Amino acid sequence: MGIAIASGAYAISFGAISTAAGLSLLQTGALSILMFTGASQFAMVGVIGAGGSVWTGAATAALLGSRNALYGLRLSSLLNARGWRRPAASHFVIDETTAMAIARDDPALSRFAFWSTGLALFSLWNLGTLIGALATHVVSNPRLLGLDAAPPAAFLALLAPRLRAREPLAIALAAGVVAIAVLPFVPAGVPLLIVALLVALFGWLRKP
């Protein structure tokens, strides 16, 4: 519940930012219900809000969300979901549910942690999104609130704990330089795609 409440509060920001970026209330709600992965949602509305195309935003979101597929490989045998529970479980495979599930030694407790976290988080995330989206309708111009600064701030907060070693810090700085260098020559959102592909290539080439 602690994770769900914190994420629900965070979702209020997403709902407001999405509406400020030009998405309708229905589109904003659909993103939280169907995509349900915070970083990808922020990335998509951030690209759209910056003037990028929907397709560029979707591609950026897909790249960020691809890590969930790796989580699914780890959780598949642990959850042992069958029938209708299998697609339901796949929808709940995100950072928080994975962390809660693998932290338990007992498989039964792991499954309970996964489902309880997933259900609580899904409920409060969508509630928070709705509250944030509705709140911006009270303001004639939501952009005046300066919510466009929230996505980069959120990404910095997610990135900061991973920059304690020299190599991740060097990679992050190099990625920033590349993104800034290509920014004047490509549409909004594309620099992130270029950097993601280069980092993936770097990781593949340095494998033993």
CA-CA distances (angstroms) from residue 7 to 77, 122, 152? 27, 9, 17
Q: Give me the DSSP letters along 170-207.
A: HHHHHHHHHHHHHGGGS-TTHHHHHHHHHHHHHHHHT-
Q: What is the pLDDT, as a whole number, of residue 17?
A: 85
Separation between Cα atoms, residue 74 and residue 81, nearest integer Å: 13
Q: What is the pLDDT, as a whole number, of residue 202?
A: 83
Q: What is the pLDDT, as a whole number, of residue 93?
A: 93
Domain-by-domain residue ranges, the chain? 1-147, 163-208
Tokens 């944030």 belong to: 132
CA-CA distances (angstroms) from residue 49 to 45, 73, 98? 6, 33, 30
| pTM of the predicted model as reported, rounded to 2 decimal places | 0.71
Among 22, 21, 3, residue whose Cα is nearest residue 128:
3
Q: What is the pLDDT, as a whole number, of residue 35?
A: 93
Q: What is the pLDDT, as a whole number, of residue 33?
A: 95
Burial class (CB in 10 A: 0-12, 13-18, 19+), 119: middle
pLDDT in tens, the chain (208 residues): 888 888 888 888 889 888 888 899 999 999 999 999 888 898 888 888 878 788 888 888 887 788 788 888 888 888 888 888 899 999 999 988 988 888 888 889 999 999 999 999 999 999 999 998 998 877 656 556 665 565 566 566 656 776 778 888 888 889 889 989 988 887 766 777 788 788 878 877 876 6
How is residue 65 written in tokens? 């969300």
